[in-house]
Structure 1
Amino acid sequence: MKVPTGCMFTHIIRGKGRKITYQNAGVDCGFVGALNSGFCNWRIDFAYADTNNRTYRTSRGKTHRECKIGPMRNNSPQTLPHYGKACAHLYVNGVRRVTQCHHITK
C-alpha cells in the first residue's frame, strides 16, 4: 500500500557517522492529497538495523486515534552502536503503509 496521491512520506536524518543529531519522519500532502480525510489510527516507528540487515532497535511511536492529514514524529538524538541503516515506518490501522530508509556509513 502507498500513501495517497499528492502525498509524500519523508524521513530526515542529520548527523555524522553513527551519531544522529536530528531525526524526523512524516507525511506531506499538497493539492489533491490535502483533500483526503487524513490518516486515522496512525503511528510512526523508527527502526535501526546493522550491516547484515538485522534490526537491533525499534522506537515505536504512539498510536494516534485522531485523523490527521500530515502525521509527523521526531526522535531523540542518539549514537547508534552499529553502522547499517535507519528506517521510518508509517502504520495506519496497524498496517505498515510505507517505509523510507537511510544507510548509515562512515
Structure 2
Amino acid sequence: MKVPTGCMFTHIIRGDGKKITYQNAGVDCGFVGALNAGFCNWRIDFTYADTNNKTYKTSRGKTHTECEIHPMRDNAPQTLPRYGKACAHLNINGVRRVSQCHHITK
C-alpha cells in the first residue's frame, strides 16, 4: 500500500530531556489525499530505543478494523529510563508502512 499523494505521517513529542509530556502520531491528508477511502486495519505503535539503537520498550496500539482518513493515536506522558530515540510506526494489515523518530538527548 502506498501513502496517498497529499498525505504525510506525523509524530509529535513535547517535553524536556527524558520526560515526555505529550506524544501523538497520525496521518494528515489534504487536498486530493483527503478524498481517498482511508486506511483500513491500521495500528500505530510507539517504540523507544537507547543510544545503541536497542529497543527497550514498545507501546503497541489497538488494531482498528474500520477505515479512517486520518488515523491518529496519543500516548500517555512518561519519563524514559534512558536517552536514545522515540519512534512512531504506522502498520497497515500488520505490516509496518512508515516510521518517524525523534532523538531524545540531554
Whether the 8 Å CA contact 1:40–1:65 is kept in 2: the answer is yes
Look up the match of 2:50.
50
The Cα offsets for residues 41-86 of structure 1, whole Å up to 9 and x where unpaired, read as 0000000000000000000000000000000000000000010000
Distance 2:4 2:71 in 1: 13
Once the 2 structures are TM-superposed, how far is the Cα of residue 4 of structure 1 from its aligned partner? 1.4
Once the 2 structures are TM-superposed, how far is the Cα of residue 2 of structure 1 from its aligned partner? 4.6
List runs of 5+ in structure 1 lacking aligned partners.
none
Look up the match of 1:61.
61
Displacement over 4 Å in runs of 4+: none
TM-score of the aligned structures, taking structure 1 as reference length: 0.98
TM-score of the aligned structures, taking structure 2 as reference length: 0.98
Distance 2:18 2:68 in 1: 32
The 5-angstrom pairing of residues 82-93 of structure 1 reads 82-93=82-93
Look up the match of 2:81.
81
Distance 1:3 1:28 in 2: 11
Q: What letter is aligned with 1:105?
A: T
3-state DSSP of counterpart to 2:32? helix
RMSD over aligned Cα, in angstroms?
Answer: 0.8
The Cα offsets for residues 18-56 of structure 1, whole Å up to 9 and x where unpaired, read as 000000000000011011110000000000000000000
Aligned residues: 106
Q: What letter is aligned with 1:7?
A: C
Once the 2 structures are TM-superposed, how far is the Cα of residue 16 of structure 1 from its aligned partner? 0.3
